[in-house]
Amino acid sequence: MALKGLDIFKLTPKTNCKECGNPTCMAFAMKAAQGSVPIEKCPYLSDDAKAKLSEATAPPMKSLKIGVNETEHTIGGETVLFRHDKTFVSKNLYAVNVCASCVDEKLKEIENVDYERIGERMYVELINLVYEGDKDAYVELVNKTLNKGRVLILDCECVDAARAALDVCADAKPILNGANEENYEQMNALAVEKKVVLGVRAKDIDALYDTVAKIEALGNKELVLDVTGSSIKEAFANAVQVRRAAIKDKDRTFGYPSIINAAALAKDDINMQTALASVFTLKYGSIIIMQSMSYAQALPLYGLRQNIYTDPQKPMKVEPGIYPINGADENSVCCTTVDFALTYFLVSGELERSGVPVNLLISDSGGYSVLTAWAAGKLSASSIAKFIKEFDVENKIKNRVLILPGKVAVLKGEVEEKLPDWKIIIAPNEAVSIVKYFKELEV
């Protein structure tokens, strides 16, 4: 049962000592009720009260860390079913299947896709190691894939082989994805001993629930749930029902991140795996396992993920700077717009389609769209002039034509005053008109 702020307040010392970092005990109680501060922050609660409260105020879905140092990732910790209710917090991660016979070729493919998009590194974060029945080959596979900058998933239901693999890689904090209805006691003991996250699977959602409950009873709550099942329909039903039970119905037994094996659901059908990965990015995969990750797959999938895991309260921004488009150089014209990612992508995409070399100047405008930035004073003649100076545009670019967004045509006079050497012209209002405008532009 969820506790209200007032219930928690009654258990606090009501001294407003501020030791928990909050101004008053009431403020602490309200935050604790929402799950945004852990109850342990108050040093004066009795152990009894703490036990009672930590159970009731624990977040509905466990947040787990996998990997170490630069490969460390957080999964889970979601508090809402729909991003507009607040935000999603831990982006889904991608794994690619690797087996003993294909490891060299696959590693090359995995390492090939590695790029940056709006300040985020896009790459395959995990490697899923498929156990094929040969323990020695499996250990060798672990050795080959360890220290490649990715977290390992040991996809292995054989306790003996899993132990041998963990003897090699436990320190790198892999996921041991291999507990099922039959072997859960031994697998759990192994995961606890090696201090790694345990993946649990079962023949259906009821068996999964019971198995998780049994493992929890053994004291382990470092779990991920492999909800893949035997069909696409079942996987989707499992993923949604597990997440919904945790978040909406507060059923903690299902309050764990999920694994979806798209490679198993659509073996060798790469297009279908792309479709599935997209569906599970929206609804509710924490780790998605693919057979491959080519650029063709990565470009839409990582872009989609970046969109969905954007905090609705914080707009996506691109870095301010000079972006040469279509091979623009110092003799090409300049045009400027805001750093709101959506605006940037629309404008730069249309500019690329026009084929005309242009230097796109992106200034810091707080991540707002053109009109909003203008209204908020973040896009003004001064901000444009300041950008030109700060980024040393006049020394880097010889051309003295600057094109302003059509929606802020009113700035023309002021910009002319601040930048007397420049010829200021006005672009169309909408990005759709850019191609035609630039093709016909004569300056």
CB 107 → other proteins: shortest distance, Å? Answer: 17
The number of residues making up the chain comes to 443
Report if residue 301 touches other proteins, rule: CB under 8 A. Answer: yes
Cα–Cα distance for residue pair 123/95, rounded to 1 Å? 10
CB 84 → other proteins: shortest distance, Å? Answer: 4
CB 112 → other proteins: shortest distance, Å? Answer: 7
Sign (positive/negative) of CA torsion 422, 426, 430, 434?
A: negative
CB 176 → other proteins: shortest distance, Å? Answer: 23
Radius of gyration of the chain from its Cα atoms, rounded to whole angstroms = 27
Report if residue 377 touches other proteins, rule: CB under 8 A. Answer: no
Q: Tell me the pairing of strands 151-155 and 401-404.
A: unpaired
List 26, 100, 308, 322, residue binding other proteins (CB under 8 A) = 308
- Per DSSP, the residues of 151-219 read EEEEE---HHHHHHHHHHHGGG--EEEEE-TTTHHHHHHHHHHHT-EEEE--SSHHHHHHHHHHHHHTT
CB 116 → other proteins: shortest distance, Å? Answer: 13
CB 409 → other proteins: shortest distance, Å? Answer: 21
CB 238 → other proteins: shortest distance, Å? Answer: 9
Cα–Cα distance for residue pair 309/299, rounded to 1 Å? 16
The end-to-end CA distance of the chain, in Å, is 69
Identify the CA nearest to 97 among candidates 31, 143, 45, 153. 153
Report if residue 237 touches other proteins, rule: CB under 8 A. Answer: yes
List 92, 188, 274, 337, residue binding other proteins (CB under 8 A) = 274
List 82, 160, 331, 429, residue binding other proteins (CB under 8 A) = 82
List 168, 192, 232, 322, residue binding other proteins (CB under 8 A) = 232
Report if residue 216 touches other proteins, rule: CB under 8 A. Answer: no
Q: Is 47 helix (H, G, I), strand (E, B) or coil?
A: helix
Q: Is 95 helix (H, G, I), strand (E, B) or coil?
A: strand
Stretch that binds other proteins, among 102-110, 184-192, 220-228, 276-284 (CB under 8 A): 276-284
List 251, 320, 372, 414, residue binding other proteins (CB under 8 A) = 251
List 254, 387, 422, 438, residue binding other proteins (CB under 8 A) = 254
List 24, 74, 186, 241, residue binding other proteins (CB under 8 A) = 241
Residue 80 near residue 247, CB atoms below 8 Å: yes
Residue (140 or 210) nearer to other proteins, CB? 210
Chain residues 309-338 in contact with other proteins, contact rule CB under 8 A? 310, 312
For the window 334-373, what string marks contact with other proteins as x by the rule CB under 8 A? -------xx--xx-xx--xx--------------------
Report if residue 279 touches other proteins, rule: CB under 8 A. Answer: yes
List 159, 282, 409, 441, residue binding other proteins (CB under 8 A) = 282
CB 159 → other proteins: shortest distance, Å? Answer: 25
Report if residue 192 touches other proteins, rule: CB under 8 A. Answer: no
Exposure letters 402-415 (e unless 16+ CB within 10 A, then b):
bbbbbbbeebeeeb
Counting beta carbons within 10 angstroms of the beta carbon of residue 160, is it exposed (0 to 12), middle (13 to 18) or buried (19 or more)? exposed
CB 188 → other proteins: shortest distance, Å? Answer: 18
Cα–Cα distance for residue pair 222/97, rounded to 1 Å? 23
Residue (19 or 111) nearer to other proteins, CB? 111
List 205, 370, 384, 397, residue binding other proteins (CB under 8 A) = 205
Beta bridge partners of 425: 403
- Per DSSP, the residues of 305-364 read HHHHTS-TTS--B---EEEEESS--TTSEEEEE--BHHHHHHHHHHHHHHT--EEEEE--
Report if residue 89 touches other proteins, rule: CB under 8 A. Answer: no
Hey, what amino acid is at 35? G
Stretch that binds other proteins, among 143-151, 173-181, 191-199, 206-214 (CB under 8 A): 206-214
CA distances from 313 to 82, 87, 155, 198 (A): 14, 8, 37, 34
Residues that bind other proteins (CB under 8 A): 82-84, 112, 117, 205-206, 208-210, 213, 231-233, 236-237, 240-241, 244-245, 248-249, 251, 253-254, 269, 271-272, 274-279, 281-283, 294-297, 299-304, 306-308, 310, 312, 341-342, 345-346, 348-349, 352-353, 432, 436
